[in-house]
Amino acid sequence: MSDYRVVGDVSGLPDYGFGSRSLMWWGVLGFMLIEGAAFLLACAAYVFLIGHNQPWGAGHLPPVLLWGTAFTVLLLLSDLPNVWTDKQAHALDEKKTRIGLIIMSVAGVVLLVVRGFELAHLNARWDQDAYGSVVWALMLLHTLHLITDLADTVLLAIFTHTHEMDGGTFSDVSDNCMYWHFVVLTWLPIYALVYWAPRILG
């Protein structure tokens, strides 16, 4: 009886993938799920404290709405070049992907500057009472994620301008764009809690 051995030539297959075909994509997704749970717990703590401290935010002026709203608008607008950058990465367009990373790096820096004005106008100290502590906790939690993604974007921008780009690099850019969506979406409930809850419930 003859032995049969099936051999397939996979040398022509790409060594990278986008979306669920990428191992890194699953890693980023898992990180977002873990961090999303942390955001949920922080928001739940905020809501819990509302029920035990009435009127909510007593003794404090609400955070200055101007800076929080400006940050929110700019953050939402920043997702437009983010989507564009992701599209260029999928198209394997080196020049436009590099441009997109620079735009997103600049956007991240601008957002951090506005966030600095936000933190300076929260009208509450972190160690003053439960209200101040939970407000600062939510703000700093989101700021940490903003800094994390900005650092990753800047490093990718530097790398893509100093190294030849391959499929794996384009895939990394796409994964970074996905994480920016996470940064944008997680801010919306925090914005509602920090800026509008004290005005409605106070």
Over residues 102-112, the mean pLDDT reads 97
- In a domain, residue 6? The reply is no
Answer whether residue 5 is part of any domain. no
Where residue 16 falls among pLDDT bands split at 50, 70, 90?
Answer: low
**What is the residue range of 68's domain?**
21-51+63-201
- Whether the pLDDT of residue 13 is over 50: the answer is no
Q: What is the CATH number of the domain that holds 81?
A: 1.20.120.80
Q: What total number of domains does the chain contain? A: 1
In a domain, 8, yes or no: no
Mean pLDDT across 27-35: 88
Which pLDDT does position 8 carry in this prediction? Answer: 55
* Contacts of 46 by beta carbon, 8 Å cutoff, 6+ apart: 134, 135, 138, 193, 197
- In whole angstroms, what is the distance from residue 101 CA to residue 153 CA? 6
- 122 belongs to a structural domain: yes
Q: Is residue 106 part of a domain?
A: yes
Each residue of 42-89: pLDDT tens digit? 999 999 998 887 788 778 899 999 999 999 999 999 999 999 999 999
- State the pLDDT at residue 3: 64
Residue 28 lies in a domain: yes
Location of structure tokens 């990753």: 152
pLDDT at 7: 61
Q: Is the pLDDT of residue 186 over 90?
A: yes
pLDDT at residue number 2: 56
